[in-house]
Structure 1
């Protein structure tokens, strides 16, 4: 069994989008939009191709990770560049086998090697604390609404990279594609049933959870 992690190439695009669709289908909403996000993000100026990887098992793509630019804006309007990742996808039949961890750890190491300052992401804390991510409240970095959420986390890639900062984090507009194109795009894939599932309500609750931790 050979595991390879390499940069995504154009020939991988459709396979990556198919895996992404399968991985997220009915997870956060009925259906999925993450494959559409992957499709549109590549064309956005904030897309970071040198950090967008696929993972292969014996030459077969089983997952991918996308990176994009983000920024922290302080009270004086000064902007500080950071990066973010997502979507991260592993084909459902390979879930919980460590492939996602390998992909994330590889990309973090590469981001550090390339000189990026910090990564800020949104997700379930229990997924990401093991990589060293911690609530952005620790650094007094809120979402644009001024609130600190448990699901918004940061990982400095250099010592002290976030210590002197405070402000709001803004993810790339590329992470919020125009939804009007989703339905037509999704119709280019095999039909799948959209379902309302308990995990979707769990995600909604987690996404709005306020960080009450003391750091």
Structure 2
């Protein structure tokens, strides 16, 4: 199997959205919106085109990763630029074979080479600690509600990039698409049944878990 990671091209868009839909369907909620996020993100001002990658096996797309701009706003109003990746999608039949890891590691290195200072993401800690992510609480970075959550993680790309930085992280509005348009968008794809799954309850619990670690 010949594996390649390359930048996403316009001709990839539909296939990428189909794979994203397959990867997330019924995972975090009945149905999913991640394919809609990807679709809208490409036309958003926060989209980072040079960090949109696909991974192929024998020239067939099997997954993708996309990045958007995010920022930390300190109490004094000062803004610090950060970036965020997601969704990261791999065809379900190819999960746990290292393809997602390859995409993430490749994109992190490219982001570092391009001069980006730090990545902040939302997700399960056990997925991302292996890449060096730690709870954003370590850097006194919270969500706008002022709380520190285990699922909000940070990775400095430059040593000391987040030292002395504190405040609230704001992700791109593109990550919260207009759900009233989702059903219409989804009609362009093959029918899939929306179902309630255990993973959805686990996700609901995870996103509300407060970070109680002492990072000092």
Identify the TM-score tier after normalising by the shorter chain: over 0.9
Secondary structure at 1:45 match in 2: coil
Provide the rounded CA distance (Å) in 1 between the counterparts of 2:163 and 2:14. Answer: 40
Aligned to 2:165: 165
Aligned to 1:179: 179
Matching of residue 198 in structure 1 with residue 203 in structure 2: no
Aligned to 1:42: 42
1:38: Cα distance to partner?
Answer: 0.5
Matches within 5 A, 1:20-169: 20-169=20-169
Query: What stretches of structure 2 of length at least 5 have no aligned partner?
Result: none
CA RMSD for the aligned pairs? Answer: 0.4
**Structure 1 segments (4+ residues) deviating >4 Å:** none
Provide the rounded CA distance (Å) in 2 between the counterparts of 1:156 and 1:2. Answer: 32
Aligned to 2:13: 13
Query: What stretches of structure 1 of length at least 5 have no aligned partner?
Result: none
Provide the rounded CA distance (Å) in 2 between the counterparts of 1:43 and 1:178. Answer: 14
1:164: Cα distance to partner?
Answer: 1.2
Provide the rounded CA distance (Å) in 1 between the counterparts of 2:149 and 2:115. Answer: 27
Secondary structure at 2:23 match in 1: helix
TM-score normalized with structure 1 length: 0.99
1:150: Cα distance to partner?
Answer: 0.1
Query: Number of aligned pairs?
Result: 215
TM-score normalized with structure 2 length: 0.99
Secondary structure at 2:210 match in 1: coil
1:177: Cα distance to partner?
Answer: 1.0
Which whole-Å deviations, capped at 9, do the CAs of 1:62-86 have from their partners, x for residues lacking one? 0000000000000110101000000
1:174: Cα distance to partner?
Answer: 1.0
Provide the rounded CA distance (Å) in 1 between the counterparts of 2:41 and 2:59. Answer: 25
